[in-house]
Amino acid sequence: MLTALLLIPLLGALTLAPMTESTPQQISRIKRVALLTTVVTFALSMIMWGEFDSSSSQYQFTVEYNTLSFLHMHMGVDGLSLYFVLLTTFTLPICILASWDNVTHNIKAYMIALLVLESLLIAVFVVLDLLLFYVFFEAVLIPLFVLVGVWGASADRIRASFLLFLYTLFGSLFMLLAFLVIFYHVGSTDFEVLSLADISFEHQRWLWLAIFLSLAIKTPLLPVHIWLSRAHVQASVAVSMILAGLILKLATYGYIRILIPFLPEATSYFAPLVQTICVVTLVYSSLTTLRQTDFKVLIAYSSIAHMAVVVIGLFSNTLQGIEGGILLGIAHGFVSPALFYCLGGIIYDRYHTRVIRYYRGLIQYMPVFSLLFFLFILGNMSTPLTVNWAGEVLALLGAMQRSPLVGVAMSLGIIFSAAYSIWLYARMSGGAWSPYLGYAVDLTRREFMVLLPLLFCMFLFGIFPNIILSDIHYSVSTLLYK
């Protein structure tokens, strides 16, 4: 099943390769094939979810290829990786539907890049080998670099794509060096072998710092966060949704799959440092968000603040905190792409400006959009009944057990989040109709269908968070207490 999940997007990309895009009918066919490929992949992942045994913390659906002497491919899924795979397969069809009319040139290449990116993202979440994890972790950068650099919004897209590539590549070189040292000491890079290995505390500290640098850039945490806002501003709406919903989750997965289980003593030793960095990141990015005039930059900085809360929960060394961090990360994968689509897709397509001061009174001509926008704003500020609230409460409880001071500092993030979320909605939707705006139609059927699944999941898992928590509980317990 995992083999099929990896190969279906690649087969879809190969199917698109010989197609031409000289007529509108051929362009429409390319889009339909790409959308059908991602829908089939999502359906297969749902079957995997239905067959998943939540009472076990062991790897399931394992596949192992070792027929080639130079390649040992070991794959599997447990509670820690299941929902990241589901989030990937759930998001990609929505992203293709979101970019249906936004991309107007080289559409075949754009769709192929999206499908290749989906396959690489799934591979990151299912491989059970350190070196293969690094290979796919870095390979994700290639289609992402192309997507931002070729289909970006302005001439500054080249600079944004190089910032994205060079920032993450720089940190990942240290991670590769750490993985090679682990291989030298242990003799294997297989996850199951490493879980039994005994690495000295002195070595753990240096290895932990090298790996953390790479993951901190990908999160991103202060001061290595500059690339994110630049990439979001220049990226097309679908790529912004992937950046917020999936790329930022690579670091979350790296923390719980590599740092915490394989370097536990160093993780405990450096946890106060990590939480201090996260609190500074949370306060700084929230205050920066309050003064933004570009709505895509505003949502990008709010993503940095939310991911800081996720990392605080993961490094709380408590069951509630880690489960809350994972839940909040998944919640961010629903709400942040929805906000990017509302503003960077729906509104930007109509008025072609991202400057907030030009907008006012949208509720008068776009009531359905304003309602959905308001509901996602509620999710962004972690209002009860949304999955963001469930994840943030658990992360806060876990952080309070570790350090009440960190818990109090996290509470500032909740206040700031409410401040900039309410201000953004009131400024754009309330008041009299702006003289800078012409008449605009409300949501189209396609735009509504893009937002509806994200809205449904935000409230479904908010009202019934145990759907997720019951599947990850045994894996998190094993991670913490084994």
CA–CA gap between residue 349 and residue 135 (Å, rounded): 37
- Please answer whether residues 354 and 344 qualify as being in contact, where contact means their C-beta atoms are separated by less than 8 angstroms: yes
Q: What is the pLDDT of residue 420?
A: 87
Give per-residue pLDDT as tens, 222-248: 888 888 888 888 888 888 899 888 998
pLDDT digits (tens, 9 = 90+) for 199-218: 888 888 889 999 998 898 88
Q: Which of 414, 380, 257 is nearest to 322 (CA)?
A: 257
* pLDDT for the residue numbered 172: 84
Q: Which of 116-120, 399-403, 442-446 has the highest mean pLDDT?
A: 116-120
Query: How much is the pLDDT for 39?
Result: 93
How much is the average pLDDT of 3-16? 87
The pLDDT confidence band at residue 67, using thresholds 50, 70 and 90, is low
For residue range 331-386, list pLDDT tens digits in order.
Answer: 999 999 999 999 888 888 888 888 888 888 888 888 899 999 999 999 998 889 99
pLDDT at 7 over 90: no
Per-residue pLDDT, 68: 61
pLDDT tens digits for range 277-318: 998 899 888 888 888 888 888 988 888 988 999 999 999 888
Cis peptide before 220 (omega within 30 of 0): yes
210 vs 173, 256, 266, 293, 346, CA distance in Å?
A: 9, 16, 12, 36, 41
pLDDT confidence band for 86 (50 / 70 / 90)? very high
Q: What is the pLDDT of residues 171-198, one digit of tens each?
A: 888 888 999 888 888 877 888 888 787 7
Which of 16-20, 26-30, 169-173, 368-372 is most confident? 368-372
Q: How confident is the model at residue 71 (pLDDT cuts 50, 70, 90)?
A: low
Per-residue pLDDT, 482: 67
The C-alpha torsion from 156 through 157 and 160 to 166, rounded to 10°, is -120
Question: pTM to 2 decimals?
Answer: 0.92
Cα–Cα distance measured from residue 261 to residue 19, given in angstroms and rounded to the nearest whole number: 46
Q: How far is CA 44 from the centre of its chain?
A: 21
- 100-to-70, 87, 479 alpha-carbon distances in Å: 41, 20, 41
Read off the pLDDT of residues 383-396 as tens digits, 9 standing for 90 and up: 899 999 999 999 98
- Percent of all residues in the chain with a pLDDT value above 90, rounded to a whole number: 25
Residue 33 has pLDDT above 80, yes or no: yes
Give me the chain's average pLDDT, please: 87
Q: How far is CA 430 from CA 238, 361, 393, 426, 427, in A?
A: 27, 5, 30, 5, 6
250-261 per-position pLDDT tens digit:
999 999 998 998
Question: pLDDT per residue over 313-333, tens digit each?
Answer: 999 888 888 999 999 999 999
Whole-number pLDDT of residue 46: 92
Tell me what pLDDT residue 160 has: 82
**What percent of the chain shows pLDDT beyond 70?**
99
Q: What is the pLDDT of residue 45?
A: 92
Lowest mean pLDDT among 65-69, 72-76, 264-268: 65-69
Q: What is the pLDDT of residue 323?
A: 92
pLDDT of 104-122, one tens digit each? 788 888 899 999 999 999 9
